[in-house]
A and B are shown apart, each in its own frame.
Chain A
Amino acid sequence: MNRLDPRVQLLWVASAAVSALVVGGVLFAVVAFLSPPFLPSWTPYAAAALVFLLGAATAVARYRSWGYEVREDSLYLERGVFTRVRTVVPFVRIQHVDSSRGPIERVVGLASTVVYTAGSRGADVSVPGLTADGADELRERLKRLAIRSEGDDAV
Chain B
Amino acid sequence: MAARRLSPLSVPYRVLQRGGSIVAALAFMLATGGFSLPFAGLAGPLVLVGLASLAAAVFVGYEYAYFRRFAYELTADTFDIESGVFARRNREIPLRRIQNVDISRNVVQRAVGIAAVSFETAGGGDTEASLRFVSFEEAKRLQRELGRLKRGASADADGESSEPDARVLFELDRRELAILGALSFDFRVPGVLFVFFSGALTFVTSFLPEGLGPLLVVVGVFVLLLLGVLASWVAGAAVAVVNYYDFRLVRSADELQYQRGLLQRYDGSIPFDKVQTLTIADNPLKRWAGYATLLVETAGYAPGQGDSSRGSEAAVPVARRERIERLVEDIEPVGTPEFERPPKRTRRRYFGRYCIVIGAAAAALYGANAVFGQFLAWYAPLALLPVAAVAAHYKWKHRGYWLGENHVVTRNGVLKRETKVVPYYRIQTVIDTRTIFQRRLGLASVTVDTAGSLSIGGQDAAAVDIDAEDADALRGELESRLRIAVAAHRRGRVGMGVEDEVDVAESVESAEGGSGEGSMEDGDDADPFVWGETRDDATEDARRGDDGPPDDAGR
Tell me the A residues contacting B by CB distance below 8 Å: 73-74, 80, 82-90, 92-93, 95-96, 116-125, 141, 143-145, 147-148, 150-155
Q: List 5 A-B contacts (CB under 8 A).
A: A86-B432, A88-B430, A88-B432, A119-B548, A144-B523
Q: Are A119 and B515 in contact, with the CB atoms below 8 A?
A: no
Task: Known A96-B551, A151-B515, A153-B511; judge A125-B436 contact (CB<8 A).
Answer: no
Q: Are A120 and B452 in contact, with the CB atoms below 8 A?
A: yes
Instruction: From the candidates A89, A141, A151, name the one contacting B429 in the complex (CB within 8 A).
Output: A89
Q: Are B479 and A73 in contact, with the CB atoms below 8 A?
A: yes
Instruction: From the candidates B483, B522, B555, name the one contacting A116 in the complex (CB within 8 A).
Output: B555
Q: Are B531 and A118 in contact, with the CB atoms below 8 A?
A: no
Known pairs A150-B542, A152-B518 / 18 extra A-B pairs, C-beta < 8 Å: A82-B436, A86-B432, A88-B430, A88-B475, A90-B482, A93-B427, A93-B428, A95-B549, A95-B551, A118-B547, A118-B549, A119-B455, A119-B548, A121-B449, A150-B539, A153-B487, A154-B515, A155-B487
Q: Are A92 and B520 in contact, with the CB atoms below 8 A?
A: no
Give the Cβ gap from B179 to chain A, nearest Cβ, in Å: 32
Q: Are A87 and B482 in contact, with the CB atoms below 8 A?
A: no
- Report how far A84 CA is from B436 CA in the complex, Å: 8
Q: Are A148 and B428 in contact, with the CB atoms below 8 A?
A: no
Q: Are B434 and A148 in contact, with the CB atoms below 8 A?
A: no
- Residues 508-551 of B at the A interface (beta carbon under 8 Å): 511-512, 514-516, 518, 520, 522-524, 526, 530-531, 533-534, 539, 542-544, 547-551
Q: Are A95 and B544 in contact, with the CB atoms below 8 A?
A: yes
Residue in B closest to A149 when the chains form the complex, CB atoms: B486
Q: Are A85 and B433 in contact, with the CB atoms below 8 A?
A: yes
Instruction: From the candidates B299, B533, B555, name the one contacting A151 in the complex (CB within 8 A).
Output: B533
Q: Hey, which chain B residues are within 8 Å of A96, CB to CB?
A: 551, 555
Q: Are B530 and A151 in contact, with the CB atoms below 8 A?
A: yes
Q: Are A120 and B449 in contact, with the CB atoms below 8 A?
A: yes
Give the Cβ gap from A68 to chain B, nearest Cβ, in Å: 14
Residue in B closest to A151 when the chains form the complex, CB atoms: B530
Q: Are A118 and B487 in contact, with the CB atoms below 8 A?
A: no
Q: Hey, which chain A residues are within 8 Å of B452, CB to CB?
A: 120
Interface string of B452-488 (1 = CB under 8 A from A): 1101100010000000000000010011001110110
Task: Known A85-B432, A145-B520; judge A90-B483 contact (CB<8 A).
Answer: yes
Task: Known A88-B475, A150-B534; judge A120-B555 contact (CB<8 A).
Answer: no
Q: Are B524 and A144 in contact, with the CB atoms below 8 A?
A: yes
B392 near A: Cβ within 8 Å? no
- Report how far A118 CA is from B381 CA in the complex, Å: 46
- Report how far A141 CA is from B515 CA in the complex, Å: 19
- Report how far A74 CA is from B428 CA in the complex, Å: 11
Q: Are A85 and B431 in contact, with the CB atoms below 8 A?
A: yes
Q: Hey, which chain A residues are within 8 Å of B487, CB to CB?
A: 153-155
Task: Known A151-B514, A153-B487; judge A86-B431 contact (CB<8 A).
Answer: yes
Find the residue from B511, B522, B530, B543 having the highest chain A CB count within 10 A.
Answer: B543
- Report how far A131 CA is from B478 CA in the complex, Å: 32
Q: Hey, which chain B residues are within 8 Å of A92, CB to CB?
A: 482-483, 486, 542-543
B295 near A: Cβ within 8 Å? no
